[in-house]
A and B are shown apart, each in its own frame.
Chain A
C-alpha cells in the first residue's frame, strides 16, 4: 500500500518532464529536501505543525532547485537538437547533487520521524502506519489536482500543447520556454514534497533518491513516456506487483521484479501500455 502511494506520485511527476527530462536529478532533489526538513524540525514548533511546514519547505525548495537547474542546464541545451547531450547533462547534475549531499550530510542515514510514523491504524486485518496513509492521501490529492489542472485549466492545456508541438504552440502565442520552466518547477516541487512524505518511510540518506528514481523510471516506461493516464495506470500496476512481491518473495527482490517487468515491456512494447503513436517519416 505504501508502495502504491509512492509510485503514483513519481509516475505522474516524471512524465510531466518533457523529452529530455531530469532523470536521476529528481531523486536527488527529494533526498536533498528531506534533509532540509530535518533542519526545519529544529525549530520549536509542535510536531505536526513542524512537519506540515517542512512539507511546504520541501515543495518550495524543490521548485527553486528545478528552476535553477532548468536555467543553467536545460535551457541552453534545449534547441540544439541533440538527444544525447541533455541526457548526459542530467546525469552529470544528478551525480553532482547526490555527492554534494553526501559531502554535506555524510553517508550515515538519518532517522526521520514524522509525527505520523508512530501511529498505526487498523483496517480489517491489515495494519497501516499513519505515515503510509498520509503518503497515500497526499499523493492521491496531488495527482487528482494535477490531473484536473492539466485537463481543465487554460495553463494546463497550454502545457499539453507545448508538449505536443513546441513550434506551433509558440506560433499561437504561447511562450514555450516559460511553460517548460513552469512544468519543471511543478515537477520538481512534487518531487520535493514526495521526499518530505517519504523521508520517514525510507531510510534517509543521500542515496535514498536513487532507489526511488529508478523505479519511477520503470513506471514511466511501462505507462508510456509523456502519457498521464498510462503513467497513473502503470503506477498502480507496479505498486500492486510490488506489494505481492514483498508478500510472497521477500522484499529484497522487489527491484529485480520491477526491472524485469521493465525490460519485458521494452522488448515487447516500447511505447508503453497506452501507446502514443509516433511514426518515423522516411
Chain B
C-alpha cells in the first residue's frame, strides 16, 4: 500500500512538471491556446466519466452544464459586475443544482430512456439559452469577455492546475469506498440496493459533481474565446465529450485525460482542421466502440501484455 501511494505521488510530480513545462515547449500563442482548450477538455471528460464511466448512467446532456457554467458566470461578470472568482463559484453551484435536477430523472429511468431524457435536457437548456434573449442575448452573443488572466500561459496554468487538482480529488474518491459504491450502482443497481446503497443519493452525487465540474470548465471558456454564443453548447458538444471519454477509456481515470488530449491535438496535427475535427471524432468513436471498447487504455494494456 505504501509503495502504491508513493508511486502515485511520483506520477503526480511528473505530471506537474510536464504541465509546467508545456507553455514553454509550445510557445506560440496559437498552440498555447490549444493547450488551454485541451485542459478544459480534460476537465469536461473527467466530469462526464464520473457519471458514465463510474456510475454507469447514460448521460448525453453534459453540454448543458458546460453552457450553464459559461453563461451564469459571464452574465454575473458583465451584467452585474461580479468578480470573476465569485461568479465562478456561483456558476459552479448553478450547474451542480441543474445536475441534481437531471439526477432526479436518472433515479427513475434506465438505459435508453435516461439517454433520451438527458438529451432532451440538453436541448431544452440550449433552447433556453437561445430564446431567453433578455438575459443571454441569444444568438447575437455576448462580446468582449476578458479571461481572468490575459497572458495565455497564465490562463493555461490556471485551467491546467485546476484540472490536475480535480483529477487528484476524483482519483482519491474513486479509490475510496465511494468509488466502490458508484461502481456497484453501475454494475447492478438492484443488488447494490440490497447491500444498503441509497441509489438516489449516490446518483445525485455523481450527476451533481459531474455537472459542477463541467460548469467549472464553462467558467473559463468565454474568457478564452472572447465571445459567447449558445452554439458552443449545442448537443454535439455532449457527443464530443463522450467521444473523448470513450476513445480514451471509459471507467478509468487516465482514460478521459488521454482521450481529451488525443482528440484535442489530433485534428490539429492532421491538416484540414475545422470541418474534419468532428468527423475524426465520429470516426474514432465508432471504431473504438466496435473494436476496442475499453479505449486507448485497453489497447495499451493489451499491448503491454503482448510485449511481456
Do B119 and A88 touch across chains, with their CB atoms under 8 A apart?
A: no
Do A252 and B130 touch across chains, with their CB atoms under 8 A apart?
A: yes
Do B127 and A256 touch across chains, with their CB atoms under 8 A apart?
A: yes
Bound CA–CA A144/B96 (angstroms)? 47
| Segment at the B interface, from A52-60, A166-174, A185-193, A213-221 | A213-221
Do B242 and A93 touch across chains, with their CB atoms under 8 A apart?
A: no
Bound CA–CA A122/B104 (angstroms)? 48
Bound CA–CA A202/B34 (angstroms)? 36
A82 to chain B: closest CB distance in Å? 8
Which listed residue, B112, B246, B281, touches A225 by the CB 8 Å rule? B112
Q: Which of B99-120 contact A (CB under 8 A)?
A: 104-105, 108-109, 111-113, 115-117, 119-120
Do A267 and B286 touch across chains, with their CB atoms under 8 A apart?
A: no
Do A92 and B283 touch across chains, with their CB atoms under 8 A apart?
A: yes
A146: interface (CB < 8 Å): no
Do B108 and A94 touch across chains, with their CB atoms under 8 A apart?
A: no
Do B282 and A96 touch across chains, with their CB atoms under 8 A apart?
A: yes
Do B116 and A88 touch across chains, with their CB atoms under 8 A apart?
A: no
Q: B277 to chain A: which residues have CB within 8 Å?
A: 99
Considering the complex, give the chain A residue whose CB is closest to the CB of B56: A84
B94: interface (CB < 8 Å): no
Given A83-B112, A87-B115, A266 and B105 touching (CB < 8 A)?
Answer: yes
Bound CA–CA A252/B130 (angstroms)? 9
B225: interface (CB < 8 Å): no
A221-B116, A263-B105 given; 7 more Cβ-contact pairs under 8 Å:
A85-B293, A95-B282, A217-B116, A217-B119, A218-B120, A255-B127, A266-B105
B229: interface (CB < 8 Å): no
Q: A92 to chain B: which residues have CB within 8 Å?
A: 243, 281-289
Considering the complex, give the chain A residue whose CB is closest to the CB of B277: A99
B14: interface (CB < 8 Å): no
Name 20 A/B residue pairs within 8 A (Cβ), A-sorted: A76-B290, A83-B111, A85-B293, A88-B285, A89-B286, A89-B289, A93-B282, A94-B282, A96-B286, A99-B276, A102-B279, A103-B275, A214-B123, A253-B131, A255-B123, A262-B116, A263-B105, A266-B109, A267-B108, A282-B190
Q: B117 to chain A: which residues have CB within 8 Å?
A: 262-263, 266
B124: interface (CB < 8 Å): yes
**Which 5 A-B residue pairs are closest in the complex by CB-CB distance?**
A96-B282, A95-B282, A92-B286, A92-B285, A99-B279
Given A83-B111, A83-B112, A266-B109, A88 and B289 touching (CB < 8 A)?
Answer: yes
Do A87 and B243 touch across chains, with their CB atoms under 8 A apart?
A: no
Q: B112 to chain A: which residues have CB within 8 Å?
A: 83, 87, 225
A246: interface (CB < 8 Å): no
Given A103-B275, A266-B113, A270-B109, A259 and B282 touching (CB < 8 A)?
Answer: no
Residues of A near any B CB (own CB < 8 A): 73, 76-77, 83-85, 87-89, 91-100, 102-103, 107, 210, 214, 217-218, 221, 225, 252-253, 255-256, 259-260, 262-263, 266-267, 270, 282
Do B119 and A89 touch across chains, with their CB atoms under 8 A apart?
A: no
Interface Cβ pair total, 8 Å cutoff:
115
Q: A87 to chain B: which residues have CB within 8 Å?
A: 58, 112, 115
Considering the complex, give the chain A residue whose CB is closest to the CB of B102: A263
B102 to chain A: closest CB distance in Å? 10
Do B131 and A91 touch across chains, with their CB atoms under 8 A apart?
A: no
A94 to chain B: closest CB distance in Å? 7
A93 to chain B: closest CB distance in Å? 5
B16 to chain A: closest CB distance in Å? 33
B197: interface (CB < 8 Å): no
B113 to chain A: closest CB distance in Å? 5
Bound CA–CA A96/B276 (angstroms)? 9
Bound CA–CA A101/B153 (angstroms)? 37
A26 to chain B: closest CB distance in Å? 14
Q: Which of B260-303 contact A (CB under 8 A)?
A: 275-279, 281-290, 293
Bound CA–CA A77/B285 (angstroms)? 14
Do A103 and B131 touch across chains, with their CB atoms under 8 A apart?
A: no
B62 to chain A: closest CB distance in Å? 13
Do B283 and A221 touch across chains, with their CB atoms under 8 A apart?
A: no
Bound CA–CA A103/B274 (angstroms)? 9
Q: A98 to chain B: which residues have CB within 8 Å?
A: 278, 282
Which listed residue, A73, A210, A218, A252, touches B131 by the CB 8 Å rule? A252
B240 to chain A: closest CB distance in Å? 8
B235: interface (CB < 8 Å): yes
Given A214-B119, A218-B120, A256-B128, A88 and B278 touching (CB < 8 A)?
Answer: no
Given A91-B242, A91-B285, A270-B108, A103 and B279 touching (CB < 8 A)?
Answer: yes
